[in-house]
Structure 1
Amino acid sequence: MSLLDTLNLSYPIVQAPMAGATTPELAATVSNFGGLGSLGSGMTAPDVLTGQIDTIKSLTDRPFMINLMVLSKQEYTTIDTELPTWLSEYYQDNTIECALPKCPAQNFSDQLQVLYDNPVPVSSFTFGIISAEQVQHLKNLGTRVIGTANHPLEAKAWADIGADAVCVQGIEAGGHRGGWLPQSESDPLGLLTLIGQTRACTDIPLIAAGGIMTAQDIKAVQISGAELAQLGTAFLTTDQCGINDTYKQALIDASQGNRSAETRLTRLFSGKLARGLLNNYLRDFAEFENANALPPYPQLNAMTKFMRAHAAKNMDAEHLSLWAGQGVSLVKQESTNELLERLVKDL
Structure 2
Amino acid sequence: MTLSSQLLTKLGMTYPIIQAPMAGGATTPELIAAVSNFGGLGSLGGGATAPHALNSQINRIKALTDRPFMVNLMVLSEHDASTFDTSIPDWLIQYYQEQKIAATLPERPAHSFPEQLQVLYDNPVPVASFTFGIISAEQVARLQQLGTRVIGTVNHPLEAQQWAAVGADAVCVQGMEAGGHRGGWLPQSSADPLGLLTLISQTRASTEIPLIAAGGLMTGQDIKAVQSAGAQLAQLGTAFLTTDESGISATYKQALLDASDGTRSSETRLTRLFSGKQARGLVNNYLHDFANFDKEDELPPYPQLNAMTAFMRANAGKNADPEHLSLWAGQGVTLVRQERAVELLERLVKAL
Q: Give the TM-score of the pair, scaled to structure 2.
A: 0.98
CA offsets 1:183-241 (integer angstroms, 9 cap, x no match): 11112110001000000010101000000000000000000000100000000000111
Q: Which residue of 2 aligns with 1:18?
A: 22
Q: Report the CA distance between 1:331 and its aligned residue.
A: 0.4
Unaligned runs of 5+ in 2: none
Q: Which residue of 1 aligns with 2:188?
A: 183
1:66 maps to which of 47, 50, 71 = 71
In the TM superposition, 1:183-332 aligns within 5 A as 183-332=188-337
Q: Which residue of 2 aligns with 1:37?
A: 42
Task: Report the secondary structure of 1:292's partner residue.
Answer: helix
User: Does residue 170 of structure 1 match 2:175?
Assistant: yes
Q: Tell me the C-alpha RMSD between the 2 structures.
A: 0.5
Q: Which residue type is aligned with residue 23 of structure 2?
A: A
Task: Report the secondary structure of 1:172's partner residue.
Answer: coil
Question: Separation in 1 of the partners of 2:238 and 2:9?
Answer: 26
Q: Which residue type is aligned with residue 200 of structure 2?
A: I
Identity across aligned pairs (percent)?
74
Task: Report the secondary structure of 2:288's partner residue.
Answer: helix
Q: Which residue type is aligned with residue 37 of structure 2?
A: N
Q: Which residue type is aligned with residue 256 of structure 1?
A: D
In the TM superposition, 1:44-55 aligns within 5 A as 44-55=49-60
Q: Which residue type is aligned with residue 19 of structure 2?
A: Q
- How many residues are matched? 347
Question: Separation in 2 of the partners of 1:44 and 1:289?
Answer: 27
Question: Separation in 2 of the partners of 1:312 and 1:202?
Answer: 43
Question: Separation in 2 of the partners of 1:156 and 1:229?
Answer: 20
Question: Separation in 1 of the partners of 2:121 and 2:321?
Answer: 40
1:6 maps to which of 5, 10, 19 = 10
Question: Separation in 2 of the partners of 1:337 and 1:30?
Answer: 7
Question: Separation in 2 of the partners of 1:186 and 1:302?
Answer: 24
Q: Return 22-31 or 210-219, whichever deviates more.
A: 22-31
2:91 maps to which of 79, 82, 86 = 86
Task: Report the secondary structure of 2:183's partner residue.
Answer: coil
Q: Give the TM-score of the pair, scaled to structure 1.
A: 0.99
Task: Report the secondary structure of 1:39's partner residue.
Answer: strand
2:121 maps to which of 116, 124, 137 = 116
Q: Report the CA distance between 1:103 and its aligned residue.
A: 0.4
Q: Which residue of 2 aligns with 1:56?
A: 61
Question: Separation in 2 of the partners of 1:195 and 1:276?
Answer: 23
Q: Which residue type is aligned with residue 129 of structure 1?
A: I
